Amino acid sequence: MTALNPTAEFTLPQRHRTNRKGAVRWLISHALRHWPLWIVMIVGAFSNAALAAAIPVLIGQAFDGILAQPPQMTILLRSALLILISQLLRSILQLGRNFSAELVGQRTERDIRDELYVSLLGKSMTFHSLQPVGDTMARATNDVREINLMFNPGVNLVVGSAGFLIMPLLAAPRYNPALMLVPALYILFYIFALAQYLHELQPITRQVRGSFGDMNSRLAEAIDGIETVKGAAQEEAEVSRFGGKARRFRDAFVHQGDVEARFLPLLLLGLANAFGFVHAVFLYRQGHLAIGDIVAYMGLLQLLGFPTFVSLFAYSQVSSGVSAARRILELINSKTNLDENVTGITKVMEGNVEFEGVSFSYGDENPALQEISFSVAPGQTVAIVGQTGSGKTSLAKLINRTYDVSAGRVLVDGVDVRDWHLESLRQQISIIEQDIFLFSRSVADNIAFGRPDASRAEIEAAARAAQAHEFILGFTDGYDTVIGERGVTLSGGQRQRLALARAFLTDPHILILDDSTSAIDSATEDKIQRAIDAAARGRTTFIITHRLSQIRWADLVIVLRKGRIDAIGNHEELLQTSEAYQRIFAE
């Protein structure tokens, strides 16, 4: 087995090798895994075409039998019986063909969803910060569904129509080799018209998929920020913005319909029927054909109607599926600047942290941090202070490799964090964000997120340590209460205490609190402070805060200003020596 992505934060063994060098190759590599189903589908498709061609052939024989002198009714009865038997067999083969095509589509959709999901989990935060969530959701849902529809009915109809396309050419010589002329010319012009149609359709379907992603991004952003929209009474403006995206999607879809309406093979079909009939009558007048042969031949030409009409839909569906595959593969192949480093260090941390000349920037923007250097001994508590935008959160997220440094090194226990096994590194570092994220799961499941195997007793102990036990018991279902998405049914203080409980349960060696007590009221602050104090014992703790009560007991205070260290020392020293530190508390 091979890794799903050699440069990813998170990887799983790849169950199936796929070729990611192009959308078509990637789709083929997925489809070939189900080769037995393809055999059933192809056999069923061409058998269906052959048995469909048997109908006009048998009807032609029946005509000759009726027109004979005297009429030969046995030929009519035989033809009727053969038609009945052949069409019963045809229906069975059709069932196998359609069932196989549906299985291919559903299984491929499942496999692609799995591959995409694992790939997204392996992307760095830099990628996710720049990639719109709505567009990602559109690709992971609607675009993946388009690939399913591409296989069935899309490819299924394409394969089926190919049989119908060649049957008149194969069957015509039984009456007269000259009758191959019209089907051959039709196939030639059909292929030429189809190539031109797909060439024109491809960029349009790509535009349709892209505009749908943009529209979905606009929708997701508006819903995610609905409180801000309503608070500023901007509903009308948001409707207008979304309407613009929706119109762009509609216009692209209408453009696709316009191209489909000008599908040239529809005209070619009419010409083929007309010229084929004239040609057959000409051969009849010369004595080369019987009446029944003309009836059979015209019936065979009618088979060309199936590939002509289904191509209008089937090839459009295939083109849309390939465009969707390109968008999905674009996400999967997007480079990430972090890797799991599966051969890295996995030892138990002591908690020593050192920054050596660290600089960091988000993409091509101005550096968020410049020339940061300091050292923290195991078990020390560090307070990081500074005005908004000074780089406090950025600094903290370099420790667990949420982001990687642009220059310099971050060392944990003397080892560059890039040399640690990423999972081992992050399992021993717990970060409590200012913006707490909670899942739409039970309270117990949210607390145990970092340790799914934790017992109920351990979960409750962590909740007590975070001063959350009492309010949890106040819920109707206690620890089994399902909270709303992102914890919207909880107050800010409750969310932060659940996050603290989650951190306490994982028992990290390095604890990072990013302004995690900002939403806690004064009555609870003392309790939380005692809990943090107890949790900090024996582990290295970083606290990003402006609360004087938390800064006072820090072993080391780092003052950041415009991405640089302005001052460093303990609270008493900085009050005497640092004007920037004095200004923070004066404000």
Cα–Cα distance, 70 to 487 (Å, whole number): 88
Query: Which residues, other chains included, contact 502 with Cβ-Cβ below 8 Å and sequence gap of 6+?
Result: 430, 432, 446, 447, 448, 449, 450, 462
Res 535: pLDDT: 66
Q: Closest Cα partner for 484 from 434, 516, 524, 436?
A: 436
Relative to beta strand 407-412, strand 415-416 is antiparallel
Phi, psi angles (nearest 5°) of residue 53: -70, -25
Is there a contact between 578 and 584 (Cβ–Cβ < 8 Å)? no
Angle between helices 265-285 and 305-333 (to 10 degrees): 150
Cα–Cα distance, 400 to 427 (Å, whole number): 9
E strand spans, 77-229:
none
- Residue spans per domain, the chain: 12-333, 353-586
Res 12: pLDDT: 59
Give the model confidence (pLDDT) of 236-281 as tens digits: 888 888 888 888 888 888 888 888 777 778 888 989 999 999 999 9
Res 528: pLDDT: 66
| CA 462 to centroid of chain Cα atoms | 35
Is there a contact between 339 and 9 (Cβ–Cβ < 8 Å)? yes
CA distances in angstroms from 297 to 52, 83, 381, 500, 514, listed in the order given = 13, 17, 90, 80, 80
The structure tokens listed for 25 are: 């190759």
Does CATH place domain 12-333 in 3.90.470.10? no
HSE, CB side, 13 Å, CA atoms: give it for residue 200.
16
CA distances in angstroms from 42 to 50, 99, 171, 356, listed in the order given = 12, 12, 20, 63
The CA-CA-CA angle for residues 352, 353, 359, to 5°, reads 165
The CA-CA-CA angle for residues 359, 361, 365, to 5°, reads 140
Residue 274's CB is within 10 A of a number of other CB atoms, namely 12
Res 408: pLDDT: 94
Phi, psi angles (nearest 5°) of residue 278: -60, -45
Q: What residues of the chain score a pLDDT lower than 50?
A: 1-6
Res 4: pLDDT: 43
- Name the CATH architecture for the domain at 353-586: 3-Layer(aba) Sandwich (3.40)
E strand spans, 515-563:
540-544, 556-561
Res 3: pLDDT: 41
Res 158: pLDDT: 92
For residue 70, whether the previous peptide bond is cis, meaning omega lies within 30 degrees of 0, is: yes
Cα–Cα distance, 356 to 407 (Å, whole number): 9
